[in-house]
Amino acid sequence: MRQQSYLIDTNILIGLEDYRAVEAAYARFSSLAAAHKITIFVHEAARDDISRDKDPERRRISLSKIAKYQILQKRRGLSQADLAAEFGPLKRPNDIVDATLLHALKSDAADFLVTQDKGLHERALKHSGELGRRVLFVGDAADLLTQTYEPKEVPIRHVAEVEAHTINHDDDFFNSLRDDYPEFNNWWREKCVRQHRSCWVVYDDDKLAGLIVRKDETGIDTDAVTKADKILKVCTFKVAPDKRGVKLGELLLKQVLWYAQRNGYEVAYLTTYESQTSLMSLLEFYGFHHAGTKENGELIYERTFSLKKLTHDASITVFEAARKNYPRFLVVDKVRGFGIPIKEDYHDTLYPDLWKPKQPDLFVGASRADRPARPGNTIRKVYLCRAPSNLGDAGSLLFFYKGASKERPSQAMTALGVLESLTFASSTRELMQLTGGRSVYSEQQLEDWHATAVKPVKVINYLLIAYIDPAIGIEELRDFGVVNGNPPQSIYELKPAILRRLIDRANLEFEV
């Protein structure tokens, strides 16, 4: 497999080369890239960006540091009008640089673009889901390099619920909070510990990697702009500096969204600062919006929840409705359903929450956050197969069937998803690019697919909506008419009447 290549934006260059302490995620990305001889490019357009710096000495130093990297030159004859037609309006000089970087990425001059610029992520996603998945925050780029090239197993990340007093608030994890909030220690003691506030935590290799502190509020006493009787405030949402990106943040956000939906909250909100670009991008993808700004400059991000049936808005697609109202989704006449058989190993990788070995592991009795596990425990997932059947449009419903297995559940439908996109990879490189931003696959696993134009690999991107509890076993599937004789070994479409029965049987906590 050809080594991956990364194009870094100006903000990543500055983060790596500026005369100050390098943040952990930047250092991890740089170290992994060097260890595995990964090519890192700086685009010639970055010179244009840096040349606009009004500080002459800083400009001179920044330009000198570009020489450490391979330069990706501009494409001759590429006009601003061409870039605007492809990537949207270019109102500022920086927009032209952004579009130039995306053009280089789309042209496959590099495999991935690394940037902390939220606007650049949004521009890529608006162009296409495929391009958007190849634009990474620096923490996700480091995760991808680890997943692809590091031989050791990636620890499973589970979310555990604990009370605040069980957490060591002197941990280095909290240093940035103490730097930003001088009263943090007092706040933690008076508000979190003494009020016994509930927290969600993620431990990675016995170290605190992620934390959410939550609080119940009402419309009488809240900073939420939308007033309601039952409000969930996320007081603290923090990921360790060396873990920052989308995946761990998405794992924590999944906990918030599932909890709020299942417990009948009407509004969930949190406050953040403009510098927290990856968090804001993640929140906006799942329907949060900037509802207001506090006097101290904090941005209020909130979204509403309901147990009622989601109404169809013709101005957005069925898939957009699902992601903005996650975990609720639409079922209209054009929405189709499909059964997807999945082998045990892939099932355990994609759904570590459902991994239930017969023999207890070494961590029996420990909290779920301490157990060893596999990656993939997020909302957006990618599944690879060569099943000959095609799927419907984005927004189609996917019912995953776990085949005969050593561990329970076996021969049962276990999970429900909503299709985001279906693409075909005709080479290992294409497979790496299409799975990269959401990858749970190593370099060798991708190589083993032997993707070619004659035998392409199907790349299914989807949102995990819910686990089916209890799972729908083989006998019940026969009663429903899903299975006749031997269980299907390939993707199959579900008739509308059967689809309706499966949705009802999924025991969702909202109307569909």
Question: Which residues of 218-368 form beta strands (DSSP E)?
Answer: 231-239, 267-272, 289-293, 299-304, 337-342
Nearest to 502 by CA among 490, 494, 491: 494
Tens digits of residue pLDDT in 144-182 = 888 787 754 444 457 889 999 999 988 889 988 888 888
CB distance 38 to 74 below 8 Å: no
**20-24, 121-125, 381-385: which range is least confident on average?**
20-24
Task: State the average pLDDT over residues 207-217.
Answer: 93
Task: State the average pLDDT over residues 359-377.
Answer: 40
In this predicted structure, the answer to whether residue 480 has a pLDDT above a threshold of 70 is yes
- pLDDT band for position 3 (50/70/90)? confident
Domain 337-505: give its CATH code.
Answer: 2.30.130.30
Q: What is the pTM of this model?
A: 0.83
In this predicted structure, the answer to whether residue 203 has a pLDDT above a threshold of 50 is yes
Tens digits of residue pLDDT in 426-450 = 999 899 888 876 767 777 888 999 9
pLDDT score of 371: 37
Segments making up each domain of the chain, as ranges: 5-149, 159-304, 337-505
Give the CATH architecture of domain 159-304.
3-Layer(aba) Sandwich (3.40)
Strands 397-402 and 412-425: antiparallel
What sign has the CA pseudo-torsion 14, 19, 25, 26?
positive
The token pair at 316 is: 């957005």
Q: What are the phi and psi torsion angles at 489 (to 5°)? A: -100, 0
pLDDT score of 21: 56
- Which has more pLDDT, 183 or 64? 183
pLDDT score of 408: 86
pLDDT score of 26: 83
Domain 5-149: give its CATH code.
Answer: 3.40.50.1010
